[in-house]
A and B are shown apart, each in its own frame.
Chain A
Amino acid sequence: MAPDSSAAVLAARPAAAPARGSAMKRFARRRSTIAFLMTLPLITVIGGLVAWPAGYAIYLATLNRRQTAFIGLENFDILLESETFRSVIWQSCFFAITAVLLKALVGFWLAHMLHHIPAKGQKIWRGMLLVPWVIPPALSTLGWWWMFDPSYSSINYLINAIGFPSVPWLGEPWWARISVIIVNVWYGAPFFMIMYLAALKSVPDQLYEAAAIDGATGWQGLRHITLPMMQNIISITVLFSLIVTFANYDIVRVLTNGGPRDLTQVFASYAFQVGVLSGNIPRGAAVSLFMFPLLAIIAYFVLRGVNKRNQEMA
């Protein structure tokens, strides 16, 4: 197809030249209209289903429970004063930061290990390790829930088999927090793995060869070549994952449903409980809005990282 069209270009060029001026003008005039029409559905989705609800959420959060009167920031006040909500803030931050760090470390380790084995076998290993990330998390968490079941726990069976006492996975607050993190790391680490594997493959081999000739150890190679080369992709994935993990809902909902005693509630699950289940829509909206400042800060850094990466690649 390419040779054909370039031949057509050559053939068409002399004939097109005289008419060019006015045709180009008409063309430019038409172009922005067409472009606008083509992006109109996108603008409708972003405007009508993201920007408008976001503004509406702010308005909702200033209403009273029955949405009849404006009460200013009272919803936020009440939330900040409640013990439960302060534990939600703490738990959300603890959960997001721990889970993302673990995902990043496990993902980096696995990507590194995959990168080391012969290329022929990489595909099958990558396929197996990606399985957790392909199953819808709400469904795989059901499997985990069953594995954590107090009386039939198959994990406790293995723990007992090597001589340790049973763990009260979902019954005791700290173990419940750890269980939620385990499931989240299990689900999210493969994503980090493929992102880092792609980044590792883009580091030129010559750099390592040069370092090896200079007598660098494997650790020095990692520290002075791999990490700097991957710095940008690492920060982008970590920040991305912070947003998604911070806003996670399905794992908490299926695994603990916020319990025991609301101690594993995160922003999303608490907003759901307050807003939808207890029917206090304005206060639920206020709960989710608490996520916004943090997400905005993270989003700013992601955008900066992505722009930097695009400039580097261009």
Chain B
Amino acid sequence: MSATARPSEMVPGLGRRIGSLRSERRWALWTAYISLIIAAVVMLAPPLYMLLTSIKTSAEIADPSGNPWLVLNPTWENYAGIIGNPMFRGFFYNSIILTVCVVVITMVISVLAAFALARMKFFGSQVLATGVFLTYLVPDTLLFIPLYQIVGGLGLLNSIWGLVLVYPTLTVPFCTWIMIGYFASIPKELDEAALIDGANWMQMLTKIFIPVALPGIIAATIFAFTVSWAAFVYPTAFITRPDEMPLTIGVVSQLIRGDTFAWGQLMAGALIAALPPVVVYAFLMDYYIAGLTAGATKG
């Protein structure tokens, strides 16, 4: 501001600033790239090392003299071993059934509820919307002991159906929350037009809201998928029989046996188990991030 008042001083100052601005920019860019390279190395090192371990032979893993970051004789035998293991295939199969059921249940519940909460003002709708958000803040580790009793009382311990019952507590609140946001952003004129055309509420939902809010639905589906694929507390508490275990707890508890760890197979198993969420996110990252940043989530 003072520069405009005294233009005679401004001119040399401006000249200096342009020069320093350019070098400052270049310096900032270098800092940015160096920080990002360091961060990327740190962030990617663990998965990379898991990959390296998974393609080593057992003899090479057990040899303490060499450089652990190098692979001398790459092999696929760990992958062949883990895929040939019927128990591991069972974990995978359980995870798929569990996740598909939970995603479908979650999306039905949360789309219906979000539609009602976003569009139909009814008695207690505001309280319910706040309640949904508060439920989302309740961590699973607060509830797993009473739920253990309840699921046990229903006779569903040691069964993936017990997990299908409790997983919606992890997914439904957040999915409802972001769907309320997406539905609320749809212009009112659209549903007025549909009403006047004689559409009922169900047609309004399926013909207008779901197609228009499709990005939100994709984001919510990915969220439900990632959460139920990665859930760990409930299966650890409720499942002790290997044939009913999903992947997370199966890999962690069953592939580690005794003192002789089959590290190669363990890492191969963990990487295969982590692959589905990584693939989903590689293709749909933008939807997911848009949904998350719209609704602020856990991390």
Contact = CB atoms under 8 A, between A and B. Distances in A.
A62 to B, nearest CB: 13
Contacts of B108: 41
Main secondary structure of the interface of A (DSSP, over half): helix
A102 B289 CA distance: 22
A248 B113 CA distance: 29
A114 B35 CA distance: 9
Interface residues of B, number: 104
Contacts, number: 309
B112 A186 contact: no
Contacts of A137: 230, 232
Contact of B274 (A139, A147, A188): A139
B24 A243 contact: no
A136 interface: yes
A12 B196 contact: yes
B296 A142 contact: no
A218 B24 CA distance: 10
Contacts of B229: 136
B101 interface: no
Interface residues of A, number: 105
Contacts of A276: 145, 148, 237
B5 interface: no
Contacts of B190: 2, 5
Interface stretch (A53-61, A82-90, A173-181, A223-231): A53-61
A303 B134 contact: yes
B128 A295 contact: no
Contact of B43 (A129, A214, A241, A268): A129
Given A32-B120, A140-B47, A157-B67, 8 more contacts: A46-B135, A50-B138, A142-B266, A146-B50, A218-B24, A272-B141, A275-B145, A276-B148
10 contacts: A50-B138, A54-B146, A134-B277, A136-B232, A136-B248, A249-B232, A268-B233, A271-B141, A272-B144, A303-B134
Interface of B: 1, 3, 17, 24, 28-29, 31-33, 35-36, 39-40, 42-44, 46-47, 49-50, 53, 61, 64, 67-69, 108-110, 112-113, 115-117, 120, 122-123, 125, 128, 130-135, 137-150, 165-166, 168-169, 172-173, 176, 189-190, 192-194, 196-197, 201, 226, 229-230, 232-233, 236-237, 248-249, 251-252, 263, 266-267, 270-271, 273-274, 277-278, 281-282, 285, 289, 292-293, 296-299
